[in-house]
Amino acid sequence: MAKALIATDGSDFALAAAKRAKELLEPSLELTLLTVVPPPVLPVGAPVTGIEAAPIVTPETTEEVTEVLHDEAQGGLDRTARALGGRVETRVEYGDPGAEIVRVAADEHFDVIVVGSHGSGFVKRVLLGSVSQHLLHHAPCPVLVVRSHDRV
């Protein structure tokens, strides 16, 4: 049976993109929803050397933060799975979203990757990067990019 990997961040837009993708794809596809939690980053302007470089991080703190991030991600996946109906697998991975989506798609031989696109302009895409752009260039299978309906 063919398999579709739907990459989502749990947002309302991503939920709408997943619903639209399900409408467009073969109804018998096995669906897997994937959220990738990116690594934490220091706030812009935060010092990177000296004692003020970062708060003291203990293994307990790291575990607590990871648990909170996982719960938030799983909540978004569960909400999306309920909206899609039927049998939908969910999973949470950690790392760079583009790279992790490509890795999962390759390792598990998905037939298509579905991702939403906010239709960001050139400047925003250059400054922030783009998961959909990364997938289009590196995915081991076709990529369906679902555009936002709220464009003017």
For 14-23, what is each residue's pLDDT tens digit? Answer: 898 899 989 9
| 145: enclosing H helix or E strand | strand 143-147
Which ranges constitute the DSSP H helices of the chain? Answer: 12-24, 59-84, 97-107, 122-128, 131-138
Torsion angle of C-alpha atoms 57, 62, 64, 68, degrees rounded to 10: 120
**Which residue's entry shows tokens 């939403």?**
116
Total structural domains within the chain: 1
Strand partners, 33: 6, 90
Q: What is the pLDDT of residues 93-148, one digit of tens each?
A: 999 999 999 999 999 999 999 998 765 555 444 444 588 889 999 999 999 998 86
Of residues 121 and 90, more confidence is placed in: 90
For residue 151, what are the contacts with CB-CB under 8 A and spacing of at least 6?
119
Q: What is the pLDDT of residues 28-63, one digit of tens each?
A: 889 999 999 987 654 555 555 555 555 556 777 778
Query: Residue 143: which domain range?
Result: 114-152
- Count of Cβ atoms closer than 10 Å to residue 17 Cβ: 27
- DSSP letter, residue 117: E
Model confidence, pTM: 0.80
**pLDDT attached to residue 67:** 87
Q: Does any domain span residue 86? A: no
**Which residue's entry shows tokens 């991030």?**
69
- Arithmetic mean of pLDDT, 60-89: 89
